[in-house]
Amino acid sequence: MLGKNLIEGSFPDRIPRNEKKGLNWVKEAEKHGHLPALEYKTYYDIRFEKHPSIDKIVKSLETCVVRVKSTRACATLAELCHAQ
């Protein structure tokens, strides 16, 4: 949650916006197996990466669908499959 708030700057009076530090927090949570962090990082990569790795994104979305039962990840995965 801290990483997400740092990236988005949701509470500027309490948590100053710092995208780089927030992304590091999200990556650290992802390394420790936190599935919401994995899903957040996947959508972050889709939107903001200059050269996103489609294979990595598809693998992350599939993990979110199987382990979290995320409907958003399922819909995004369907859009990617349809686009190919």
| pLDDT one-digit tens code per residue, 25-45 | 999 999 999 999 999 999 999
Number of domains in the chain: 2
Cβ atoms of 4 and 26 closer than 8 Å: yes
What is the DSSP code (8-state) at residue 15? S
- Domain check: are 52 and 77 in the same one? yes
- Domain check: are 14 and 42 in the same one? no
**What is the CB neighbour count within 10 angstroms for residue 53?**
11
**What's the pLDDT at 83?**
83
Range of the domain at 53: 34-84
Cβ atoms of 9 and 23 closer than 8 Å: no
- pTM for the model stands at 0.83
**What's the pLDDT at 8?**
86
d(CA 24, CA 80): 26
> Confidence band (pLDDT; 50, 70, 90) for 77?
very high
Can you tell me the mean pLDDT for 35-62? 92
Query: What's the distance, CA 27 to chain centroid?
Result: 9
